[in-house]
Amino acid sequence: MQKAPHVTDYLTRHCADDEYGCLRGFEAQGGYRAAHTALREMTPQKILDEVRQAGLQGRGGAGFCAGLKWSFMPAPEQQPSYLVCNADESEPGSFKDRLLLERAPHQLLEGILLAARAIGAQKSFIYIRGEYAEAARVMQRAVDEAHAKGYLGDDVMGSGFSHDVVVVRGAGSYICGEETALLESLEGKRGHPRVKPPFPAQRGAFDRPSTVNNVETLCHVPHIIGRGAAWFRSTGTEKSPGTTLFGVSGHVVRPGLFELPLGTPLDEIIFEHAGGVADGRKVKGVIPGGLSMPILPAGELDVAMANEFLQEKGSALGTGGIIVMDDRTCMVRTACVISEFYRAESCGQCGPCREGTAWINDIVTRVERGTGTAEDLELLVDICDGMEGQTICAFADAAAWPVRALLKHFYADFERHVREGVCSFSGSFQL
């Protein structure tokens, strides 16, 4: 099981309690109260408006306003339509959804009920990455419990609203986290992203109107409905309200999860909450939001962790997965690890992505081994130019950004490899 967070707030307060994973324990902490009230007393429009006013941003990486996304769904009479919960969590450096699935399954189900009610969906699919077998077991048990209690199925909680949840397991593929690839996979196909438009709200799962939301996004919903949009807006920043689950990994004393307000300064998260860099060393660079997000050098850590501020620094919040690298770290090796991943995971559908990810990996590998040239470094930038914005989905951008940022902030590391013909960063991690 995923370990409980070091710092908790409303989303994760009871995650260390094993009882919280079962329906009775969840209800003992006030769980399902928001659903009881809202399903009976609030119209779908009212639920949607509350979430929209709360300004809840999607926590799956793109930060899109959840209430706005829900409003794209057609009128509820247009059945069937579906809610799809994206539990594919495979952005390297991210491990928050696993916690929410394994330790608070009913919180997610309550969020699903409310979201489904708001958009008028009678069925939800929770698409869980195949490797998260434990999470799938826990979720299925929670779904069965909720059914037995009348919280799923026909006439949920006596409200007249009917809803079913299907737990679906993926089978090992990073791209299936991209929402349209996920929909293809859900339909039993290879996970090739779809051309948009049509957007999922027009034509999503099984050709029907669908909304795709991340696990954490949906977990905030019961709290918003229970306590109101104004309460939600009292934490976080004006543009990015609420808390989020930051996952800190790499060279820190206390790696793990931290539920903190959006807008918490990155240096506070690293040095206060995660205990700073291990062995008394210094930070060299930090990836602030999962592997796809551009790295920040040590001098730029005084940034509030919310998109509006990170974007000024040329990066973004992504999934809130913070990867810390100390001053021994070779950034060429870092580029090797990153590019190896994108090469292996490109679905191959678009030429620029398929060829570009492989080419980048070949080049950084030879630079790392000492046979790269100065021209190679220029070539890397050209390849990134040829990938960004040139493909069906954002995977190619996600593969190009980190490389571009590593070159921008740590060009000296690459030059040193070219010049010296070996990796002279003693103490760096090994390939």
Structural element, H or E, at residue 284: strand 283-287
CB 366 within 8 A of CB 372: yes
Q: Using N-to-C axis directions, what is the helix angle for 33-41 and 215-227, rounded to 10°?
A: 70
Contact between 169 and another protein per CB under 8 A: yes
Which residue, 67 or 256, is less far from another protein as judged by CB?
Answer: 256
Among 34, 157, 186, 215, binds another protein (CB under 8 A): 186
Q: Which stretch binds another protein (CB under 8 A): 124-132, 211-219, 370-378, 404-412?
A: 124-132
Tokens of 262: 């959006």
Shortest reach from residue 86's CB to ligand FMN, in Å: 4
Listed as own residue / partner, the contacts of 420-426 with beta carbons closer than 8 Å and 24 or more positions apart are 420/370, 421/370, 421/371, 422/370, 423/330, 423/332, 423/333, 423/368, 423/370, 425/328, 425/329, 425/330, 425/333, 426/328
CB 414 within 8 A of CB 407: yes
CB 246 within 8 A of CB 95: no
Shortest reach from residue 355's CB to another protein, in Å: 19
Shortest reach from residue 281's CB to ligand FMN, in Å: 31
Contacts of 133 (CB under 8 A, 6+ apart): 169
Among 77, 279, 280, 430, binds another protein (CB under 8 A): 430
Which residue, 181 or 296, is less far from ligand FMN as judged by CB?
Answer: 181
Q: Which stretch binds ligand FMN (CB under 6 A): 7-15, 160-168, 372-380, 391-399?
A: 391-399
Q: Which stretch binds ligand FMN (CB under 6 A): 56-64, 98-106, 136-144, 225-233?
A: 56-64
Picked from another protein, ligand FMN, none, the partner binding residue 40 (CB below 5 to 8 A depending on kind) is none
Among 16, 133, 230, 412, binds another protein (CB under 8 A): 133
Contact between 189 and another protein per CB under 8 A: yes
Among 50, 88, 184, 259, binds ligand FMN (CB under 6 A): 88
Among residues 412, 129, 413, 409, the alpha carbon closest in space to that of 287 is found at 409
Shortest reach from residue 107's CB to ligand FMN, in Å: 15
Among 213, 249, 346, 361, binds ligand FMN (CB under 6 A): 213
Q: HEC string of 296-357? A: EEHHHCCCECCHHHHHHHCCCCCCCEEEEEECCCCHHHHHHHHHHHHHHHCCCCCHHHHHHH
- Please give the order of strands across the beta sheet that includes 321-326: 256-261, 243-250, 321-326, 283-287, 296-297
Among 63, 241, 256, 356, binds another protein (CB under 8 A): 256
Which residues pair with residue 265 across a beta bridge? Answer: 304
CA 92 to chain centre: 10
Contact between 204 and another protein per CB under 8 A: no
Q: How far is CA 106 from CA 22, 27, 214, 215, 265, in A?
A: 7, 9, 15, 12, 31
Residues of this chain, 148-187, that bind ligand FMN according to CB under 6 A: 175, 177-179
Contact between 210 and ligand FMN per CB under 6 A: no
Picked from another protein, ligand FMN, none, the partner binding residue 186 (CB below 5 to 8 A depending on kind) is another protein
Picked from ligand FMN, another protein, none, the partner binding residue 171 (CB below 5 to 8 A depending on kind) is another protein
Shortest reach from residue 35's CB to another protein, in Å: 22
Q: Where along the sequence are the contacts to ligand FMN (CB under 6 A)?
A: 58-62, 64, 66, 86, 88-91, 175, 177-179, 212-214, 217, 393-395, 398
